[in-house]
Structure 1
């Protein structure tokens, strides 16, 4: 009966689309070529909803209507198809897609997610709704490493759903947490959606990754806050874990040292190292445990020393400029010439135009200049820096010589030009550094105060499951965001990291590599054919005047920027019901992107809104691919309607996240502006 309802819904929606297209053709006084383009758009949507392959539907419809637009000229039509395919093959951005997908499949098959989920849910055992919160955190971390929605939802459905149902969790909450968490890979980098949007809209993928970082964390935080509040208000839907579920067995050697699992581990291990209580435990084993225990402290010390040197090291650029200009550069430092381009800065001016620095005064005309200029002219250009360093400590500046603002005091340059940079005093430590280090030190002290033997085992589990993934994620995303590598280069490093993880966890076999390569080729071919079909469809739509008609219609409504953004996001939200995100990006983004300039909308900001919005394509019925992924691995008593109902609150949270991003655009734009503008 459920299938019949879905079929009726789909057919009713298709009938509305066809009826709207026919009404448009009948109601207009004169049918333009643009109306035929809109009819093509409606037919494409209906064909995709009927189940036809998206890429080949776009290609077929595009070629037919291109043939009509070219007055039935097959030569021009085929030429357009060849040019569109060649344009896609020459797009360097798309190289990163197969590499990121391959990395995701390797990490998925390294069997990390089971260890990751267990370690996180034990670490969060006392948090309300611990299993659901651990599910969301695991999905967020794993989605960052893979970006494959179907894989994350399927694996978490096999691991987390039975555990939550056994613990007495509500079925709808369990299903909603898994599907919503699994869809975070659409937004959180390395997201394939952002690569496809960047290639379609002509926006830098690097800036999109930097911009999507904080919105992704915000959305995951909203999900977690909702689960915690719901579990606190209604403990029946997410009961706390029993002591048996929170129990962590200790290794045999550590069991001999532990008087109690809740005992603080630091004094016990230090006391055992002295020899009073380690008769049956080797000293080397105790030392290895202490290395694990004090690893956070060592990392904190290294971080503090490195950041201290970074924030207190003085700038060396000004000293180099002083040496090159022979003592007169102290004046140029105050003029900001070092920050200007060479064509406009004082460094690029010829000597004749630099105020007489290269020529000795031929007469007494230089005496007519102000005292500051005169003193600069009287200094010999040959060894000015050495002369200044020899006299700076012995005599104060002359009465008529003014020290330029921002120039280095004489005492700072007392060691001569060769040692000017080393003799400078260190900069004062910023207050923010002290605050940050104080917060981290407080957290570290709390960590050691609460570190029991049980928590030590949980920490070891995190070291073997969570931290390897975080190192891989930070190395890939950090190199992209910091500009150390292009997305394609970072994706290649990520694929290598996936290989290393699979080898480290003894999961790399010929079958794993073969299946990963096959799935990668399948996904990459789908994306590339989608781009080819989208290029042909967009060209046909433009040739028929559909884009011009849509632009004319939107501008005739005299919308403000806010109204345009609301209208576009509502349209994308509704399109997310029958269509997937790939279809929305390749079909409708070429229609929206040209309109952004008319309303002064940044394509980067628009892309972040779209990425947040397009998660509804996986969470909204009747398509809701995440629901079907979960239904395929869930127990028989979990119905599709229960999964759909569990998705609805998380869809509402997505709407709240979109509103927050619009009200506070700095959430998405702050990091790209700091790093790249």
Structure 2
């Protein structure tokens, strides 16, 4: 809150309290000797190599104008529907989420390309900005999602801790691929919910083009299906190759991320959109994002080590065990806490700081790790939309015209936050929506 970097605040405050604990005799200094091994383990984690590769893939696709071609042609494909332009924004946002997974890039790109058009076509400021912000955050839940890669690594460690605590001497890790597969149905449901809300909003308050604008009414332009199909082929092919290789066990998520990064380069070259200057900018942007993620991860490792050294893990375990309702009560408490933390913290901080503390306890109480991961991912998605610190709101505010007020953005995202919370409730009541597809594919592989 004072403006210090999260990563260094986590590590610095933890080390200060560890020092106080050593002076007062409440903290064992020998625990700090494990810190170098933790940092080295983080930097050599093969699963986390997928992070810079997926980031690189997303930035290449952003810089190569593939998203711009997608939006223009998708808008033509949906123009025959009342609200078709808004629906095209949802569809393109879903495709960008599946091909880039970077919320900031998606929100900014969609804002620059579609916000003026939506406003000129008569869409209200709140509906236009809310749709762009919400669809921009789909990269949190639709694979290949960086959030799911990070959650998979954390949940794998949590699952192994829980199994060891239960006497299992050969604990099994949680596959990031299972999380990707488990996110497919919830992601599709969320996209359909967004689209349905946009259509309902336009049906309730029909849009009318702004007087004097160059935009015609929806449905008035001729559709060139060859251009639409041409714009869709490249990103859909990339999505199919990356996700298909993971889902069917042909490649690990890290290997698939490498294939995706290579495929994005080939697509950019095919469009003649990859100069040395642009490649340098892509490399710098990838390095910044990757450094931010790993620095926070190292700071969180220091925090969790000191937290456990003070007995915090046993305290949480005891508190959860004594909650009424068992697993249900503990899960509700954690979900509410994550939702509230989303108002002030980024999803990376929540993932690295909170999840390692609560996930082992929830898994010990009987929570399915894959179901828990998707529930957390959907919940974390709201952290990008919840005022006042939702990052998607900042991204949009930075590129929106002055005629769009911050209050318009805040009111616009509220219905989409409600839709996400409804999805959370549905997944809690019907966990099979998450677990059925991974279990079915794993059974087929076993046979």
CA spacing shift, 1:245–1:659, aligned 2, 3 Å: closer
Partners of 1:663 and 1:628 lie apart in 2 by 33
Residue in 2 that maps onto 1:646: 412
Instruction: Tell whether the 8 Å contact from 1:170 to 1:237 is kept in structure 2 after alignment.
Output: no
1:213 matched to 2:180: no
**Cα gap change, 1:227 to 1:77, in 2 (>3 Å):** same
Q: Say if 1:67 and 1:74, in contact at 8 Å, map to a contact too.
A: no
* Structure 1 equivalent of residue 165 of structure 2: none
The change in CA–CA distance for 1:242 and 1:512 in structure 2 (over 3 A counts) is closer
| Residue 51 of structure 1 pairs with residue 12 of structure 2 | no
Q: How does 1:39-438 map to 2 (within 5 A)?
A: 49-71=1-23, 76=30, 79-202=33-156, 203-236=174-207, 246-248=219-221
Q: How far apart in 2 are the matches of 1:152 and 1:238?
A: 25
| CA-atom RMSD in angstroms | 2.0
TM-score when normalising by structure 2: 0.90
The answer for the alignment partner of 1:475 in structure 2 is 241
Q: What is the TM-score normalised by the length of structure 1? A: 0.60
CA distance in 1, matches of 2:2, 2:98: 33
Query: 2:74 and 2:336 mapped to 1: Cα distance?
Result: 36
Per-residue deviation at 1:188?
Answer: 0.6
Kept after mapping to 1: 8 A contact 2:81/2:218? no
User: Displacement, 1:69?
Assistant: 4.0
Which deviations, in whole Å up to 9, do the C-alpha atoms of 1:49-83 show, x marking residues without a partner? 33211111111122223334445899746523312
Distance in 1 (alpha carbons) for counterparts of 2:267 and 2:383: 32
What is the match of residue 232 of structure 2? 466
Mapped pair 1:564 → 2:330 = yes
Pick aligned residue for 2:403 from 637, 645, 658: 637
Deviation at 1:538, TM superposition (A): 0.7
- The whole-number CA distance in structure 2 between the counterparts of 1:667 and 1:113 is 30
Q: Distance in 2 between matches of 1:558 and 1:162?
A: 51
Q: Show CA shifts across 1:539-568 (max 9, x none).
A: 111110111112212222232332222221
2:371 paired with 1:605:
yes
Q: Secondary structure at the match of 2:183?
A: helix
1:543 equivalent among 303, 309, 332: 309
2-structure distance, mates of 1:571, 1:534: 18
Query: Secondary structure of 1:614's match?
Result: helix
Question: What is the alpha-carbon distance in structure 2 between the residues aligned to residue 167 and residue 557 of structure 1?
Answer: 52
1:507-546 equivalences in 2 (<5 Å): 507-546=273-312
Q: Which whole-Å CA distance do the structure 1 matches of 2:9 and 2:217 have between them? A: 55
Residues 384 and 392, structure 2, Cα contact 8 Å, conserved in 1 = yes
Of 386, 389, 396, the residue aligned with 1:623 is 389
Structure 2: where are the runs of 5+ without partners? 157-173
Counterpart CA distance in 1 for 2:20 and 2:252 is 41
In 1, Cα distance between equivalents of 2:80 and 2:136: 23
Tell me, in whole angstroms, the C-alpha distance in 2 between the residues paired with 1:236 and 1:141. Answer: 25
CA contact (8 A) 1:66 1:77 kept: no
| Paired residue secondary structure (1:51) | coil
- One of 554, 573, 598 as aligned partner of 2:339: 573
SS of structure 1 residue aligned to 2:324? coil
List runs of 5+ in structure 1 lacking aligned partners: 1-48, 249-453
Counterpart position of 1:666 = 432
Q: CA deviation at 1:173?
A: 0.1
- After superposition, the C-alpha distances for 1:243-289 in whole angstroms (9 at most, x for unaligned) are 566455xxxxxxxxxxxxxxxxxxxxxxxxxxxxxxxxxxxxxxxxx
Separation (CA, whole Å) in 1 of partners of 2:321 and 2:4: 34
Q: Distance in 2 between matches of 1:512 and 1:629?
A: 22
Partner of 1:257: none
The alpha-carbon deviation at position 476 of structure 1 amounts to: 0.5
Q: Which residue is 2:160 aligned to?
A: none
Q: How does 1:28-47 map to 2 (within 5 A)?
A: none
| CA distance in 2 between partners of 1:657 and 1:237 (Å) | 32
- 1:676 to 1:523, Cα distance in 2 relative to 1, 3 A: same
